[in-house]
Amino acid sequence: MRGPHPRVVLGLHRSRHERRLLTEALDLGVTSIDTSTNYLGFHSHTVLARTAGDLLPRFTVSTKVGYFPGRERAEHSLDPVRLYEAVEHAARDLGREPDIVFLHNPEHSLGDASNHGRDTLAQACAALDDAMSKGLCGAWGVASWDPSPLVGLVDPTTPKPSVLMARAGLLVGTRTLEAAEALAAAWDLDRSRLWGMSPFGGNTGDPVWGRIDPRVFLRGGDGFSCVQAAFRASYCLPGVGTMAVGTDDPAHLGELLDALAAEPDERTIHEYRALLRERSMGQPV
């Protein structure tokens, strides 16, 4: 079944936050950026406001809360008061309310699927829901690097996010893929509400991309590069409508946008998922 038209969000995880990148992204038709409170050494919001404050109204801006500066290194917290205040600070530092605020890697501070874990997650979600109701952000979501621990913690009483973001792509294991899908089902989020991230496992220069040909996952993929094919296939692993991708190179961003014209081969991707599942069943937990 054909999903929504794929979207691209410019992720700023490893970005230098240069104005040139944002202007060229706009020229390419990319009008969404994704950052986080802790990016650029906890200075992402203020640097964006200083270097490109006049451009930000032209973007849909998403950010994340959950990490805080510590004495020696960043610390993670799901304390509702701290999360609410972090949303307030994000709006202040950006000079505008974010369109989406994600709860950043809640699994970092959650244990097993106990009542305590359920309550902690629910209260953290409620804090962002409250911030949205107060007009501090347009919507809220959950961004999870490892969604597996969250699946057993969501029940009908857990506040429902508007968006779920999880890792996507050919380097993601079946456990993470299935957990993302299960979490989306628990919150009744369709594909248009699902975002992928890190489609290349963090590095398009990884040797793995020289050893495989991702074009097998496309119909008529000969006209696309291996990088383009891996990117396009990532929208199906798991099924997402939006992909956040980081780069400081506008030419690379343009190459990825061109890949959206490719058509994934759903049968091949289904077979690949089945192979992943079979392989994982033969390995120890």
Per-residue pLDDT of 189-232, as tens digits, reads: 999 999 999 999 867 667 777 788 999 999 988 899 999 999 99
Per the CB < 8 A criterion, the answer to whether 104 and 66 are in contact is yes
Q: Mean pLDDT lowest for which of 102-116, 118-132, 202-216, 253-267?
A: 202-216
The answer to pTM > 0.75 is yes
User: Which band of pLDDT confidence, cut at 50, 70 and 90, is reported for residue 177?
Assistant: very high
- Does residue 4 or residue 34 have the better pLDDT? 34
Instruction: Please give the span between the terminal C-alpha atoms of the chain, in angstroms, as a whole number.
Output: 33
pLDDT in tens, 187-201: 999 999 999 999 998
The number of residues making up the chain comes to 285
What's residue 114's pLDDT? Answer: 62
What's residue 116's pLDDT? Answer: 85
What's residue 113's pLDDT? Answer: 53
pLDDT at 285 over 50: no
Q: Which helix (H) or strand (E) segment is 33 a member of?
A: strand 32-34
Angle at 143 between CA 141 and CA 145, to 5 degrees: 165
pLDDT at 93 over 80: yes
Other CB atoms within 10 A of residue 108 CB: 16
Name the 3-class secondary structure at 164. Answer: strand
What's residue 1's pLDDT? Answer: 41
Q: Mean pLDDT lowest for which of 41-55, 224-238, 270-284?
A: 270-284
Q: Which residues of 32-49 are buried (b: 16+ CB within 10 A; e: fewer)?
A: bbbbbbbbbeeebbebbb
pLDDT at 63 over 90: yes
Among 64-78, 109-123, 197-211, the range with the most confident prediction by mean pLDDT is 64-78
Neighbouring C-alpha atoms within 13 Å toward the C-beta of 261: 10
pLDDT at 3 over 70: no
Tell me what the pLDDT averaged over the chain comes to.
93
CA–CA distance, 161 with 159 (Å, rounded to integer) = 7
What's residue 104's pLDDT? Answer: 98
E-only strand ranges, 105-222: 139-144, 163-167, 194-197, 218-219
Mean pLDDT of 181-186: 97
pLDDT at 31 over 70: yes
CA–CA distance, 222 with 245 (Å, rounded to integer) = 23
Mean pLDDT of 149-162: 94
pLDDT at 281 over 80: no
